[in-house]
Chains A and B, each alone.
Chain A
């Protein structure tokens, strides 16, 4: 009697764990990543877009691919509350963006030559 619910809850738990990602979600993620890699390659190397437009295409496709990997490969969307992983990621991104954008900003106005 006591054994049964324990076994049952364990099974249910196992199932919920195994729902982390399916073949479908990995294939979708892979195809989206391929597309998001091919778009900038074709657009920029064939000079379909140039200058600022090319930079925007490159950065947008890179960020989108980052999001695709987070959702389809790293299962960030399936995290249960409280979402510590998401919070840590946001903190990390704030620090990274501060370092990168701050460095560019400061050094742009530090041109000696």
Chain B
């Protein structure tokens, strides 16, 4: 009898521990993602360093102030900033347990992200049409590599977000999908931070 009681307590304890362990695992996974973001910071740091060092080497091609058209860039900036905010709203809905709100705000975020990419791609196409290719000058190599890498990150984030929405539709809000939403929202905020520096160092300092 006493033995059985002990066993039950141990069982309950084991279950509790297991639950805590599961939660810890998700927290650990989220921290692992944070470490990835830090290494991604270093990747962008090297690309920024390259761009800054090379941005005056235009090799007779167009310079930054001749090439950049600010209205589109300003629109991209506000679109990405708003999408960073809406991805935060998605997390808030998730914490309230509202799957509809969560998926709804993720859709808004993805649409804003897609319009950002659309604007950026049309900007790039226009530049290439004007003869400003990645091979034109060291400045443009640095520019397309830096801004293109950021655009690639946003595109990957979009595919990931769509996959996550499908998973949320199937499985609902569990501790695993919760961690995945937290992680993608961190990623999205990070991409906005990188864009702030692209906007400031590449575009604003390029045209001033």
Which residues from chain A sit less than 8 Å from chain B, CB to CB? Answer: 2-3, 6, 9-10, 13, 17-18, 20-23, 26, 29-30, 33-34, 37, 40-41, 44-45, 50, 54-55, 58-59, 61-62, 65-66, 69-70, 73-74, 84-85, 88-89, 91-93, 95-97, 99-100, 102-104, 107
Say whether, besides A21-B91, A85-B31, A26 and B85 are in contact (CB < 8 Å): yes
Do A34 and B81 have beta carbons less than 8 Å apart? Answer: yes
Q: Once the chains are docked, how many angstroms separate the CA of A17 from the CA of B50?
A: 41
In the complex, what's the smallest C-beta–C-beta distance from A50 to chain B, in angstroms? 8
Do A92 and B52 have beta carbons less than 8 Å apart? Answer: no
Closest-by-CB residue of A relative to B5 is A2
Say whether, besides A85-B34, A103-B52, A104-B52, A40 and B200 are in contact (CB < 8 Å): yes
Closest-by-CB residue of A relative to B41 is A92
Q: Once the chains are docked, how many angstroms separate the CA of A73 from the CA of B89?
A: 10
Main secondary structure of the interface of B (DSSP, over half): helix
Do A96 and B88 have beta carbons less than 8 Å apart? Answer: no
Question: Within 8 Å CB of B190, what residues of A?
Answer: 74
Closest-by-CB residue of B relative to A97 is B45
